[in-house]
Amino acid sequence: MKKILTTGLIAASALAVSACTITDITSSTSDTLDAVTPDVTLNRFVDVRIASIKQEAAVGQGENLQALAQLMGEPDSAAFSKMLQLNYDKLFNNLRQPSDLVGRIELLQKSRSI
């Protein structure tokens, strides 16, 4: 009986340790993916959320604009959202691909920093 109990504890411990290892590997893999391919993540976000981004940019606020600011490395999401609102026509008129929005925003940011 004592041997069965000990074996059971060892098996349970092994399962607990292996579950932690799987979680750790998954977490580090997704972090690595984001660190290695930030443009893919950014473009995918814009492709999926373009309708909401467009609506929120029209009013100058929203959670998708906050997320977009973060993905683009903007520390002040409120100022970023206001910039999108003030430049709405430049950013969204004749937009062929949702991911083209990223390039337009980057051009706008560069022209502001000059």
Q: Let me know whether 71 and 94 are in one domain.
A: yes
Query: Nearest-CA neighbor of 100 among 47, 49, 53, 59?
Result: 47
Same domain, 62 and 93: yes
CB 64 within 8 A of CB 98: no
d(CA 66, CA 47): 16
- Note the pLDDT tens digit of each residue in 26-60: 333 344 344 445 677 999 999 999 999 999 999 99
Contact predicate 83/108, CB 8 Å: yes
60: left (phi over 0), alpha (psi -120 to 50) or beta: left
Could you tell me the residue range of the domain that residue 65 belongs to?
Answer: 37-113
101 near 53, Cβ under 8 Å?
yes
- Note the pTM of the prediction, 2 decimals: 0.65
pLDDT band at residue 7, thresholds of 50, 70 and 90? very low
Q: What is the mean pLDDT of residues 58-79?
A: 96
What's the pLDDT score for residue 97?
94
Task: Check residue 98 and give its pLDDT.
Answer: 93
Q: What is the pLDDT of residue 5?
A: 46
Helix (H, G, I), strand (E, B) or coil at 55: helix
Residues 68, 27 share a domain: no
